[in-house]
Structure 1
Amino acid sequence: MEYQKIALGVLAMLVFQVCLAQPAELNLVTFEAPPYQTAGADGDDRGAIGGETVDTVTCAAKQAGWSAQITVAPQRRAIYSLKRNIADGYFAADPSAELDAIASRSNPVALEKWYFFTTDRSAKPSKHRIGVVDGSNEEVWLETNGYSIYLSVASPSQLPALLERGRIDSALMDDRLMEGLNAKSSSPVDSLHSHFLRYAPLHLYVSEVFGKKHPEFLPAFNRALPGCMEKTLTLTGRETQHIEALTKQLLAELTELLDVQQALKAGPQPETLAEVLTIDGKWQALAPEATLPLAAHILALPASETLETWQNAYQGLVTEAMVVNNMGAIVAMSRLTSDFWQGDEPKFMEVAGSGPAEEPRARKALFISPIRYDRSTARFQITVSVPVFSSAGEAPNGVIVLGLDIDKAMGI
């Protein structure tokens, strides 16, 4: 009998430990929007749910210590579930005052690319009969920003057909969603023209009750997001071509104003990489709250003043501009950067042809980074860079680096 009590006690302890080891369940609701959120083939709310945004949310929740259980519902019902605390959270939603009042918003979990689609190449969508999905993020954004909506439909698949029949003049939706609809259609609309409107950062909203009960969740979730969404923030071929053309235009203008070789000569001249790294350590320890005397000196240089004036003229399109030498050390900058040494970053290594203690590699004439989210500005940005050469050398003796607001860049 005594052995049975001991055995039961051990079993209870094991069960308790197993329960502790299981991550808590996070009950989320979303809506179908391929390729971001895709319901199972059976069409049942309880069926499998996949897609890029689902993967991102599941990944970040897991790293935050939670197991995401996701169901699919129409958007209006999903929002109702959040408001009534039936669900712990709802994604993926465009920021809205309505949701901000009743729930807590994460950093972006997805970045959609919204286009007006028309049958007329030279159309002006703002004056059109606009079609949109009822209850969608696009519908809310249009209403908030003063657009007149002509027709709201139940399903995205209805919009291409309405365009083809001339029932509406333009449809607003995510670029990849339209591509997916056309790919699945038995009679795809090949004659559609796209007009870029905006990049739409979409978020996870967690309910008020859940947020108060688990205040540690959102900070942990946000910390995990960059690694979980890294693969989903690459530019498409069309976007890359647009950025390449814009970068060439910007650099042609900048180099008319700035003597880059003179900037390289006038900037700091550390003799060794060890010296650069020593400065960098002190720089990072202070920035952005305080400024090293060397950083203040660089900001006061004529080349830095030129970069700042040129950046400001673009009213948010250009988010930073810098010139670095052949060791990756900054010699001119439009604003204080987080570090002095850029030599271990792709924006330098990809165009300079090597990194620290590396064998020479093939150089790119232009580097374009993936899209990244800047929490300090709540904007999505990219970095572009090009090598610069002295008249005498085959190897670059410096690099020009620009930060661009991707939303503004694609809108040009």
Structure 2
Amino acid sequence: MGRIYLGALAGAALCLIQAAPSKAGDVHVEPVTTYVAANIRTWIEDPLIIEELKKQNVLHAGLSQTEIDSLDATWRAEFASDDHPLIDAIVGNPLSTFLKGKQIASGGVITEIFVIDAKGLSVGESEISSDYWQGDELKWQKTYLAGSSTLFVDAAEKDESTQMLQSQASLTITDPKTGQPIGAITVGINLDAL
């Protein structure tokens, strides 16, 4: 009986040791969540964000997946080119200017911000992203599709170009009048600056 007990105890200890790395990888979630609560939730229902989301949701309401894929392909081609009217229309709009101001005001904690519509397409960006459609990514699927007040903190990753350890925090944006989800926002957080 003693051997069985020791074997079970050793097995349990091995399970705990194997589980520890995944817990260590999530250490950033609590400070990111705290930062979001104190610094981002206060402005994600700004009238500019809400109005721009509503306008683009109406504009994109009838888009098929084929049309979304075509827009995304256009964005990706423009991203690698000197001619980029679609990108310019997004990053040059008032919402993108507003988001850039929020990024600058963060003093280096925020690395990027983008607002995503009900189809998963960018509405405004503080930095140019490499793709237009976010609907195939967890940042949209685990927020907009999950419902009101949802926060998704992604894994921490080291940015190869900046050597900065960062994570993306994504939140559902709801219409303050109806409480219904109308889009999402993703904010890149410099974990070294928290």
- What are the within-5 Å matches in structure 2 for residues 111-260 of structure 1? 234-236=25-27, 239-255=28-44, 259-260=48-49
CA distance in 2, matches of 1:258, 1:392: 11
CA distance in 1, matches of 2:80, 2:103: 19
Equivalent position of 2:166 in the other structure: 381
Amino acid across the alignment from 2:152: F
Equivalent position of 2:11 in the other structure: none
Q: CA RMSD in A?
A: 2.9
- CA drift of 1:391 comes to 4.3
Q: Is the 8 A contact 1:276 1:341 kept in 2?
A: yes
TM-aligned CA distance change 1:233 to 1:285, over 3 Å: farther
Q: Which moved more, 1:312-321 or 1:338-347?
A: 312-321
- CA drift of 1:364 comes to 7.0
CA distance in 1, matches of 2:188, 2:107: 13
**The one of 90, 105, 108 aligned to 1:316:** 108
TM-aligned CA distance change 1:232 to 1:377, over 3 Å: farther
Q: Does 1:265 align with 2:50?
A: no
Amino acid across the alignment from 1:381: Q
Q: Does 1:333 align with 2:87?
A: no
Larger Rg: 1
CA distance in 2, matches of 1:396, 1:362: 6
CA distance in 2, matches of 1:375, 1:233: 21
- CA drift of 1:298 comes to 1.1
Give the 3-state SS of the residue equivalent to 1:400 in structure 2: strand
1:27-72 CA deviation, whole Å, 9 max, x = no partner? Answer: xxxxxxxxxxxxxxxxxxxxxxxx99xxxxxxxxxxxxxxxxxxxx
Q: Is the 8 A contact 2:167 2:188 kept in 1?
A: yes
TM-aligned CA distance change 1:254 to 1:314, over 3 Å: same
Instruction: Give 1 or 2: higher strand fraction.
Output: 1
TM-aligned CA distance change 1:391 to 1:253, over 3 Å: closer
CA distance in 2, matches of 1:406, 1:285: 31
CA distance in 2, matches of 1:240, 1:403: 13
Q: Is the 8 A contact 1:367 1:384 kept in 2?
A: yes
Equivalent position of 2:187 in the other structure: 402
- CA drift of 1:289 comes to 5.0
Unaligned runs of 5+ in 1: 1-50, 53-175, 177-228, 354-360
Amino acid across the alignment from 2:78: L
Calculate the TM-score normalised by the size of structure 2. Answer: 0.77
CA distance in 2, matches of 1:399, 1:250: 16
Calculate the TM-score normalised by the size of structure 1. Answer: 0.38
Percent sequence identity over aligned pairs: 24
Give the 3-state SS of the residue equivalent to 2:116 in structure 1: strand
Give the 3-state SS of the residue equivalent to 1:397 in structure 2: strand
State the aligned residue count.
Answer: 174
CA distance in 2, matches of 1:250, 1:375: 26
